[in-house]
Structures are given as structure tokens and as C-alpha cells.
Amino acid sequence: MMRFPIMDKPENLTSFRFFAASLASLVVVGYFDYITGYELYMDVFYFIPVSICAWNMRRRDVLVLALLCALTWGIIDISVGHPYSSKLYWYWNMFIKFSCFVILGMVVQSLRCNLKEQARARRELEMALADLRQSAAEIEKLHGQLQVICAWSQRIRIEGKWMTLEEFLKNHLQIKISHGISPEAMDKMVKELEETKPRQA
């Protein structure tokens, strides 16, 4: 049985709204460009729909909208009777418009990505500082107390609760730990293995 991927409906709806807003702004800009004619420069206003799309959507959508903006400009430019000595100039101008829109879209997207990365790094830094403050408060609190360690189990008593050293480091000092083996323990293990070999023989 064929299964289709589940799409994120809220995200798709949001993307559709932003793309619709970009198209709506393109229609408005195109309308004013048409009624003002080719003598009044309106090209810079085409940056508005491209910027809306680039800030909120993916690169593929930016390329599509940049192409739509270039085609809209080119069709309006011909419709208002802009004279060209050669049709190649019109194609060249439309290509330049498309390139400018794409470059602007990529710049806006890069700016947005950088801002999101800075916000993520700031949140991580705030979380790290919060953990550090909590650990410092725990250490300061423990400094003023007499800590009792069990002579047999090597467990430590913190606020009436017995816990292992590992639990103490993790829960109270927020320290990430890993397990290994010390040279002394390794030597002891090797000696025990060597002692058990003759007995097994």
C-alpha cells in the first residue's frame, strides 16, 4: 500500500499566506507601474514582494517570485509602449531585472538566517548562564554545610537524602560526566585476572 508523506498543514497555510501577500503586493506595484508609464521609474518597488517572500519562504519560492516580478515588469514595459531599437534590449533588461530580484532575495534570506542563528546562539548562551548560576548557587550553599559521606557505600548525604557521587554531580552541580577506568583500577583488575588463571588451570 502506497503511503503519502504527511504535510504540516499550519506551516503550509502560513507559507501560502506569505506567498499570496507577495503576489498581492506584486499586483499593486504592477498596477502603479502600468498607470505611471515607462517615464516614471518604479522598478525599486518590485523589491517589496521579493523581500516579503525572501524573509518568510524558501529559496525556490524566491526564484519563482523573482521570475514573476521580471515577467510582470517586462509585460508592462511593452504594454505602455516603451520604444526599443531592438527587441534584444528588452530581453536584456528583463534578464537584468530578474538577476537583481534574485540577488536581493538571496541577501534578504541570508540576513534572516544570520539573525535566526544569532537568536539561537543567544538562547543557548542564556541557558548556559542559567545553568552556571544554578550550579554556583548550589556550590555556595554546599560550602556552608558539613557534608557526610558513608564510609562503606561512599554515598553522600545532601539535605537528608543519600545519593551517589554521580547523582550529586549531575543533579546539584549540573556536570556532565562519563565513565572510564583509572590506572589503579586497571592494574588491580589485571592482577585479579592473573591470580584467577592458575586456579582455573
Q: What is the pLDDT of residues 120-141, one digit of tens each?
A: 999 999 998 988 887 777 777 6
Q: Please give the mean pLDDT across all residues of the chain.
A: 82
Q: Which of 69, 65, 46, 45 is nearest to 56 (CA)?
A: 65
Q: For 6-10, 29-33, 88-92, 122-126, which range has the lowest pLDDT when averaged over its residues? A: 6-10
Q: What is the pLDDT of residue 10?
A: 57
Residue found under cell 534574485: 102
Distance CA 143, CA 22 (A): 61
Residue 155 burial (10 A CB sphere; 0-12, 13-18, 19+): middle
pTM of the predicted model as reported, rounded to 2 decimal places: 0.59
Instruction: Characterize the bridge pairing of strands 156-158 and 148-149.
Output: antiparallel
In the numeric block, which cell numbers belong to residue 84? 526599443
Phi, psi angles (nearest 5°) of residue 176 = -85, 125
Distance CA 147, CA 109 (A): 55
In the numeric block, which cell numbers belong to residue 128? 548556559
Who has greater pLDDT, 139 or 13? 139
